[in-house]
Structure 1
Amino acid sequence: MSVTKPAPAIRRTAEPSASLTAPQKLTRHHQAVLAVLLVAQFMLAVDFSILNVALPAIGDDLGFSLANLQWIATAFALSAAGFTLVLGRLGDLIGRKRIFLGSIALLGLASLVGGLATSPALLLAARVAQGLATAAATPAALSLLTTSFPEGPLRQKALGLNGALMSAGFTAGAVFGGVLTDLLSWRWAFLVNVPVVLAVLIAAPAVIKESRPDDRPRLDLPGAASVTLALLSLVYGFTQAGEHGWTSLHAVAGLVVAAVLLAVFHAVERKAGQPLVPPSVLRRRNVAWGNVLGLLAFATETSLVFLLTLYMQRTLGFSALAAGVSFGVLGLGTVVGGLLAPRIIARLSTLTALVAGGIVQAVATATLLLLGTATGPSMALLLPATFVGGVGNMLVIVGFMVTATSGLPDHEQGLATGLATMSQQVGIALGTPVMSAIVTAATAGATTGGAILHGVTVAIAVNAALVLAGVLIAAAFLGTRRQSETTPDSPRPA
């Protein structure tokens, strides 16, 4: 006779995830929690892109070679994406608040070191530390958010605001990076984090409540090691493909190693007594397919920023600052989408937000195929298209967050948010190198404005096709799931 082991008890002082008597409006405590977590998430999102515009200035100042300059971005992406899942799960084991505060402090210290760095090695070490802090803080903040708000309209509203500020932070990073580099110094792209970190560390202990299991299971070390190395290899392989092409030995080796290690991870998890990612969780359609949609949503929109930056600078002749400022329209669109998404989900369904948002994003992206070499007409098309596309993309992102974190008990929210954050980080890390490789292949080494436009157009077509693939996935695999059927602790059909 088999005995089902009960889930570990959770020592909580925060509100339960769901309650028939849960408040339908944000209390003052909710508002304070939301403010602290959203400020932190916005700062983490800004860090993904704030140094992109500053890379040439950093290279000139610290003596980076042209070949090694890309490691400033790659070092961050590797650690941020590679360690997200294991650090997200660690929050379930030792306390999400503890992980959140510790990682935010690490981010502040790493930012200070990066801003004062005098050598390439020190700067890269700071970027690795920033990536690790992001890998820990992002899922911890998201799980604190989902466990602080009851499942339903309040959580949807919180996730909508969270998603809007995250996407806005990514696009704002490009603007901030250009402004700070041009007016002050690239060092302020690091140092700007320090006062924000101090503010969060002062406010968070008073408003965020801890949750940790009484019965702490062992960390699945073989699973943690295999999935972390797999993600590191995956991101490295795609990054090398973006830099050197799909036939690069480093790119092929990285992708092959990643595939082998993911197979090892799958085998380890099936036999582990206390797996890092229980197979039963991945068999839930909302978790598995929701995370696929999240990866596609982040990969397509963030890589579109790269493509349009390349187009504006190389074809239209914009400065880095002018190109960065242009994305303010996209950031506005994501804020509007973040505000609309909870209302659409509440009144219609999560599936409606996923499908409608994907269609809107795909159509807006496809209109960019009409971009040309004339600045006036092209910008008249680009600005409204990116705004509309930002609205659609944010509907998908909020829909993905709600889908991938619903129906799980609080003691598994760290796992759910860790998976969701992993999808986000991997999507951001992979989108740009994949599109870069497509542009490189389409241009065949040519660097003229017309050749760049052709390469960008081919990549935009692929981008739009990936968005449509997400729409089809949502309709095919999530079409029978309605939010009204979801209860936090009920089992989900496989």
Structure 2
Amino acid sequence: MSAIASDASPQPPQPHPEPRHVTATIALACLGVFVSYLPVVGVSVALPVMQQALDASTAGLQWITDAFILPTAALLLTCGMIGDLYGRKKAYVAGLVVFCLGCLVCLTAGSVVQVCVGQALTGIGTAALLPSTLGLISHVCPDRHRRTRAIALWTASLGLGLTLGPLFNGVIVEHASWRWIFFPALLIGVLTAVAGAVVLTDSRADRERHLDIPGQLLAIVAITGLVYGVIEGGSAGWGSAQVVIAFLAAAVGLLAFVRVELRSPCPMLDMRLFRSAAFSGAALVMALTLFAQVGLVFAMSEYFGLVHHASTLDIGVRLIAINGFTVVLGPLVGRLMNRTSPGLLLVVGLLIGGIGALCVNLFQASTGTGEAALVIGVLGIGIALAMAPITTIAMNSLPHRLAGTAGAANSALRQIGSALGPAVFGVILTNRTLDTLPGHLAGSGLSAADQGQVNGMVSNVGIQAGAFLHLKTPQSTGQALSAYGASFTDALHTCALIGGIGMLAAAVIAFALIGVRARPAHQTEEEVVPVTHPAGDLS
């Protein structure tokens, strides 16, 4: 028997949950993921305001974003195991408590470092919330069709947090200090934690699990080394000692992680899960999709803030369609997944999203709000069609008793992609803008002295110099801003090309590994993993 099978221990039959309890559990699971994602894009659209208030560099802004995503990605699998061991309700409530503590730290922040600390705490809380919410749903929805609908609602709630966060924060920044953008998440998080402690019933995995400390430490080394190397490589240079060491640590950590997990009697991430083609495909697609989505949100937030000089609220409104369609179309997507193939919806969504991302190449410095909204809407529809099927395929590609493991692994790859998006696109925005700026300045009509001044400001401060770029006369300032806008837009085009190709590549992977045919109605969940292991199978 395999390690998973041999770890199983007989469990008494669980009573079927009452309908009211099922509804309450699904609602609280959705509320938990909603509150945990409120600050994600909301913080991104407030970065221009935070940059001026905290005098932060471009790398500092990237770390504000990744300080949340990194601990989420690194701790998801371990938090999933903790929930399986000690109870998903306990993990859910504890995650909300840590999340609220992080919001409180950010609410009182006076430096980039303190914001990063608060973001890291909210990331740790989110790492506990994501697998526990999916585990709670899986426990009360053993039926695949009902679970599919619940996961669609879960995904829509995630999208709702991503959608409302920028709007809340835009209104707050218009009338108060940027620090108050963390208050709505804090308030809702406290109320949700109290409701969860009172209403939820605890559940655990139906097999014995143990914490995998070596695997957790190696995962932290690999993920942190990779993201640190990408962010610092753009500013310190790709050949600098700290960047080379970071990439070496990431490579060694990844190889050691795989080796340790293959030999562990109770691995944090059982590598045999990837013997399921559907699960492997969903994992790769999730990472690529979130890399493109979060990276493009970061890039377009900077574009609207630095080139169009839009307010935080305006940025939130302009980007609302990227995640808003996930909310609007969520119930429809849930029904469609039970009537057709989730793989087909996934491939169609990725193709539409990839085309939308490539259409961002049409943006110019003078692009109007209506034109931009049309392109962003296409991207948003594609993401809405793709997101729920990815999670559903990952959850349903393995036997029901492994749904928690599948959900945690899928969420971990979601966060790794989310972390790499702002890191990679932030480096591209900076380097590409600096590379093309001299050429645009040369054709701007500015004097050689003014060209040198602008080049020096952008080189020293980074792309954030566009927020306060002023020369001696209004005419020269206008010429400088025009050249800067053209350079930044060139950089945005490069990001759009990479993001679009990434989503189209994800569509090809989904077609090849998942397919577009519906699973036969008579096929049971125990038949979904056909590949065996020399020591046994996944069941």
With the length of structure 1 as denominator, give the TM-score of the two structures: 0.89
1:292 counterpart residue number: 284
Match 2:264 to one of 272, 292, 299:
272
Within 5 A, what are the aligned runs for 1:206-217? 206-213=198-205, 216-217=208-209
Within 5 A, what are the aligned runs for 1:382-421? 382-421=372-411
Q: CA deviation at 1:398?
A: 0.9
Give the 3 Å change call, closer, same or farther, for CA 474–307 of structure 1 in structure 2: same
1:428 counterpart residue number: 418
Match 2:525 to one of 475, 478, 488:
488
Q: Does 1:97 align with 2:98?
A: no
Q: Aligned partners of 1:388 and 1:295: how far apart in 2?
A: 20
Q: Bigger radius of gyration, 1 or 2?
A: 2
Give the 3 Å change call, closer, same or farther, for CA 242–78 of structure 1 in structure 2: farther
Letter in 1 for 2:509: I
Q: Does 1:473 align with 2:509?
A: yes
Within 5 A, what are the aligned runs for 1:443-462? 443-445=433-435, 446=437, 448-462=484-498
Match 2:106 to one of 105, 109, 114:
114
Letter in 2 for 1:351: G
Give the 3 Å change call, closer, same or farther, for CA 127–2 of structure 1 in structure 2: closer
Q: Aligned partners of 1:486 and 1:246: how far apart in 2?
A: 51
Q: Aligned partners of 2:22 and 2:65: how far apart in 1?
A: 35
Q: Which runs of 5+ in 1 are unaligned?
A: 17-22
Give the 3 Å change call, closer, same or farther, for CA 297–69 of structure 1 in structure 2: closer
Q: CA deviation at 1:67?
A: 6.2
Q: Structure 1, residues 162-208: CA drift from partner, whole Å, max 9, x if none?
A: 21221332243233222212212222222222321222122223443
Q: CA deviation at 1:463?
A: 0.9
How many matched pairs? 483
Q: Aligned partners of 2:9 and 2:87: how far apart in 1?
A: 14
1:162 counterpart residue number: 154
Pick which of 203-212 and 262-271 moved more. Answer: 203-212
Secondary structure (helix, strand or coil) at the match of 2:204 reads: strand
Pick which of 123-132 and 342-351 moved more. Answer: 123-132
Letter in 2 for 1:459: C
Secondary structure (helix, strand or coil) at the match of 2:357 reads: helix
Match 1:323 to one of 312, 315, 334:
315
Letter in 2 for 1:416: A
Q: CA deviation at 1:355?
A: 0.8
Q: Aligned partners of 1:199 and 1:305: how far apart in 2?
A: 29
- Is the Cα contact below 8 Å between 1:100 and 1:137 reproduced in 2? yes
1:20 counterpart residue number: none
Give the 3 Å change call, closer, same or farther, for CA 244–449 of structure 1 in structure 2: farther
Q: Does 1:127 align with 2:163?
A: no
Give the 3 Å change call, closer, same or farther, for CA 367–416 of structure 1 in structure 2: same
Q: Aligned partners of 1:245 and 1:164: how far apart in 2?
A: 40
Letter in 2 for 1:430: L
Q: Aligned partners of 1:382 and 1:56: how far apart in 2?
A: 20
Secondary structure (helix, strand or coil) at the match of 2:266 reads: coil
Q: Structure 1, residues 360-387: CA drift from partner, whole Å, max 9, x if none?
A: 11122222222223343xx322212212
Q: Aligned partners of 2:239 and 2:164: how far apart in 1?
A: 34
Q: Aligned partners of 2:239 and 2:13: how far apart in 1?
A: 52
2:447 counterpart residue number: none
With the length of structure 2 as denominator, give the TM-score of the two structures: 0.82
- Is the Cα contact below 8 Å between 1:153 and 1:342 reproduced in 2? no
Give the 3 Å change call, closer, same or farther, for CA 191–436 of structure 1 in structure 2: same
Within 5 A, what are the aligned runs for 1:118-267? 122-213=114-205, 216-241=208-233, 246-247=238-239, 249-267=241-259
1:371 counterpart residue number: 363
Q: Which runs of 5+ in 2 are unaligned?
A: 438-462, 464-483, 532-539
Q: Does 1:464 align with 2:456?
A: no
Q: CA deviation at 1:465?
A: 0.7
Secondary structure (helix, strand or coil) at the match of 1:372 reads: coil
CA RMSD after TM alignment = 2.8
Q: CA deviation at 1:493?
A: 2.1
Q: CA deviation at 1:456?
A: 0.7
Give the 3 Å change call, closer, same or farther, for CA 364–14 of structure 1 in structure 2: farther
- Is the Cα contact below 8 Å between 1:300 and 1:467 reproduced in 2? yes
- Is the Cα contact below 8 Å between 1:85 and 1:422 reproduced in 2? yes
- Is the Cα contact below 8 Å between 2:398 and 2:529 reproduced in 1? no
Q: CA deviation at 1:214?
A: 6.8
Q: CA deviation at 1:52?
A: 2.8
